[in-house]
A and B are shown apart, each in its own frame.
Chain A
């Protein structure tokens, strides 16, 4: 079993939809939770970072962490075609060693 599980999709939604992306994990030592966005043929870039449990909002993006359930989510409101990318969850117990999920490929259709 992988330490971090993420449904690879692909996920296709119409423009303006609310998108929900999720990851589950098994290592209770994870404290740092991130979402990276990766456009085709580019390197991943950090989208959201959350420490421990709770919610964090940044514009149209909301990250949630539920450590009791070992479950993290990323919500995208009013999705745009420019949001089409692969979204990777990542987490670590200590600095430096990020463990990534497989990534969910998202396509937002105009």
Chain B
């Protein structure tokens, strides 16, 4: 019973390629997020969606485009991949946007750009 799942788990690709990461949650939550964790373990929010509406859009290059087809799914498409995009990308979900709402993280997608 995986609560937040991501595919693929590992992604190795060449510079300049376009790739997508998919996320699904079966917790019935309204809010989903994308985070990036760099090689120094620094975890930074990229986007959040609440009921399919974009709420947070941090200063992320516009090569990154999130898409939420429904409340249970949040995908991340990355165009023209660069070396600096290599990181672990985590999807998370929470019941809503209340400050006390716990965010549940997926297992991560380890992206390596060669």
Contact = CB atoms under 8 A, between A and B. Distances in A.
Interface string A1-25: 0000000100000000000000000
Contacts of A43: 4, 90, 92, 105-108
Nearest to A95: B97
Contacts of B99: 31-32, 51, 92, 94-95
Given A43-B106, A96-B56, A97-B45, A8 B40 contact: yes
> For the side of the interface on B, what is the size category?
20 to 34
Contact of B41 (A49, A86, A92, A95): A86
Nearest to A42: B107
A88 B43 contact: yes
A96 B55 contact: yes
Contacts, number: 66
Contacts of B94: 95-96
Given A31-B99, A96-B50, A96-B55, A45 B41 contact: no
Among A41, A43, A44, A103, the one with the most B-chain Cβ atoms within 10 Å of its Cβ is A43
Nearest to B98: A95
B100 A32 contact: yes
Contacts of B40: 8, 102
Interface string A33-57: 0000010011111100101000000
B18 interface: no
Q: Please provide the 9 A-B residue pairs with the shortest distance between their CB atoms, ordered closest to farther.
A: A43-B105, A95-B97, A32-B99, A100-B43, A103-B41, A96-B97, A95-B99, A95-B98, A46-B102
Interface of B: 4, 31, 33, 40-45, 48, 50, 55-56, 90, 92, 94, 96-108
